[in-house]
């Protein structure tokens, strides 16, 4: 079993990165998705990530 973690600043970028990884010849066991939000002064910073568990 292996794990691949993908982290992007934009939801669309995460979608493209995950789809690109899934195009490879792998056996997916599970995918976990998470969004984190932080404040930097008055700016909101988003972090979109996915953990793919596969063989």
* Structural domain spans, the chain: 2-54
| Contacts of residue 47, Cβ cutoff 8 Å, sequence gap at least 6 | 7, 8, 9, 35, 36, 37, 38
Q: In the prediction, which pLDDT does 34 show?
A: 97
Give the predicted TM-score (pTM) of the model.
0.84
Of 40, 35, 36, 8, the residue nearest 21 (C-alpha): 8
The gap from C-alpha 36 to its chain's centroid, in whole angstroms, comes to 11
- The pLDDT value recorded for residue 30 is 98
Are 45 and 38 contacting, i.e. CB atoms less than 8 angstroms apart? yes
For 8-52, the pLDDT digits (tens) are: 999 999 999 999 999 998 999 999 999 999 999 999 999 999 999
């Amino acid at each position: 079993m292996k794990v691949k973690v993908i982290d992007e600043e934009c939801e669309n970028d995460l979608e493209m990165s995950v789809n690109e990884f899934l195009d490879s010849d792998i056996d997916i066991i599970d995918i976990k998705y998470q969004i984190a939000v932080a404040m930097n002064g008055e700016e909101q910073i988003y972090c979109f990530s996915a953990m793919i568990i596969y063989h």
